[in-house]
Structure 1
């Protein structure tokens, strides 16, 4: 167990709904419960996830205007001193701002949490700025093994560890009412980004709407109002799926949504370790997912769900149809995935390893 004087600040650029953002909030809440102190600073833009911070978690919005915003840096510096912060846990791109703080507070230890979602495309990832930043980082935490190997090969911080994402019970107020029929809903928690491959999802939905017309698809995730989102909406119309596929945008009441759902799916081309998958398991949904990132380590094919090759619509359709046709299989997959999530991806399991990292010299 770490020394009691360890006080950890989570640093994140925004609190919009996203995987890294949700993990920053989850860590702050979990550490508040475990150690009696949790803190989070948001550098650039607040968002709906602010509401999920537990009462008692120290929170500050830095209102950073640019990378070298000295006023925001001074606010962070004061926060560090006021609360005797010993460690900054910087998530994703917030590490660059954390490095500036490290120059002012050399004694503060800096952890960088790499949530990079395109782990199937790492050869395209720029690394020189990260390489320089890594000189100031004490420990890198990666959300899958591909990112561990990449960091060890490309960056100058050699203390690199894989830690799985984890979930905490969510106490958000239920407000979202899904369309469709209870027991016949297929949900996808994924922001509208190209690597999530919603076009594959729509190809699947087009076939399922014919073979299983009573089922509906429910897409929950941030709409960036860009060309990709416009293509999704246009394809829904061109496929005639207006009464089958529904878009909800970002939602704050994920437990309520999952409790209304029957099956969870992910059609991604690339992932790190998706929080959505852990939430599917935590809330007892059977799943059909693609074999990308850390997903095959979480879901054993034909035991805790169906895992199919990425961008293979036929394989995805066949797996989903088999699952929809077999309620007993749905119950078995849901139970076995839930047991695995609780055992391996709970806060208790992950925090033990995390706190041990912080005690290392």
Structure 2
């Protein structure tokens, strides 16, 4: 069996990391594994294993027929059986299905905020869903939404997973750093974290905050930069931008925060577990279920609650270190490749 992951770009992001993780993880259990990025390459290209077959289409527009037929030739030449289209690449994948019906098409939906929309808002997606063999989603709420609003008969919940490579660095020797691994865009609500950190910094000036993720240099990021400047936090808060290898950066830190207003099953929380961080997240998407009892979950857009969770984690070092270790073990047990791969292979083989 041969499977191709289809994604719009390889810029660091949750869906993009999952597409790369799938492509890498399927090299050995399947006959062959492939990845195609349609619009753009990015830092994550360097994370692909040599054994992964790779194609960059350089698609210029929504209906790029030249790119579409290049993809068809690639799929046909490599005798690919299944195309797994991630997030917004479903439309291009459906066009491929129309001109090459031989493939099985799976749509993999990551975006948790879709559950807050109506099915009538997604007419193109509904039409495309008639051609999906299956839909894979990252949390049960998305499963219910797809079952209610789309035409695909089989919708399967498969949690995101992470591939552990060795043990995290010793927690006791880490710096007083809080990390937020999230691209600088609206659903991630970095402003909430900045407001909470401003209050924390007054009592704990030795603590730093690192924002790791793509800076789109738009109004959203400009607002964050203005806040940092206005409140004289430039020495304490750094915007790191996109990083291909996030684990070395995270393993210098102590606390990992996700202050989003909506999520699916965020890869950032899995990365925090792999890095040995104490996790704090807002109660959106599947964050509460991922963190379980091994960190703090606060209500979305609640500055006071987030400030309190940060203060408790900072001031109780022994408890924080203990919880971080338990969280790493929890993620390894429930969200690692070993736990998810058998279920994933069943989907392909059935």
C-alpha separation between the residues in 2 aligned to 1:244 and 1:122? Answer: 38
Which of 314, 319, 323 is residue 333 of structure 1 equivalent to? 323
Residue in structure 2 matched with residue 177 of structure 1 by the alignment = none
Query: Contact (CA 8 Å) 2:2, 2:31: kept in 1 or not?
Result: no
Query: Contact (CA 8 Å) 2:119, 2:149: kept in 1 or not?
Result: no
Report the Cα offset of residue 359 of structure 1. Answer: 2.0
Report the Cα offset of residue 123 of structure 1. Answer: 4.3
Residue in structure 2 matched with residue 209 of structure 1 by the alignment = 201
SS in 1 for 2:60: coil
Matched, 1:308 2:298: yes
Which of 254, 271, 274 is residue 263 of structure 2 equivalent to? 271
SS in 1 for 2:55: strand
User: Which residues in structure 2 correspond to 1:1-361 (within 5 Å)?
Assistant: 6-119=1-114, 121-123=116-118, 126-169=121-164, 182-300=174-292, 303-360=293-350
Query: Contact (CA 8 Å) 2:115, 2:142: kept in 1 or not?
Result: no
C-alpha separation between the residues in 2 aligned to 1:229 and 1:190? Answer: 12
TM-score (norm 1): 0.92
Structure 2 unaligned regions, length at least 5: 167-172
Report the Cα offset of residue 357 of structure 1. Answer: 1.2
Residue in structure 1 matched with residue 169 of structure 2 by the alignment = none
Q: Deviations over 1:212-257 (max 9, x none)?
A: 1110000001111110110000011111111111101111120111
Query: Contact (CA 8 Å) 2:33, 2:52: kept in 1 or not?
Result: yes
SS in 1 for 2:224: helix
Paired residues in the alignment total 344
C-alpha separation between the residues in 1 aligned to 2:17 and 2:187? Answer: 19
Report the Cα offset of residue 36 of structure 1. Answer: 4.9
SS in 1 for 2:36: strand
Query: Contact (CA 8 Å) 2:281, 2:297: kept in 1 or not?
Result: yes
Structure 1 unaligned regions, length at least 5: 1-5, 172-180
C-alpha separation between the residues in 2 aligned to 1:228 and 1:304? Answer: 31
Query: Contact (CA 8 Å) 1:120, 1:292: kept in 2 or not?
Result: no
C-alpha separation between the residues in 2 aligned to 1:8 and 1:326? Answer: 47
For the aligned residues, what is the CA RMSD?
Answer: 1.6
SS in 1 for 2:285: coil
C-alpha separation between the residues in 2 aligned to 1:125 and 1:165? Answer: 28
Query: Contact (CA 8 Å) 2:112, 2:142: kept in 1 or not?
Result: no
Runs of 4+ in 1 over 4 A off after TM superposition: none
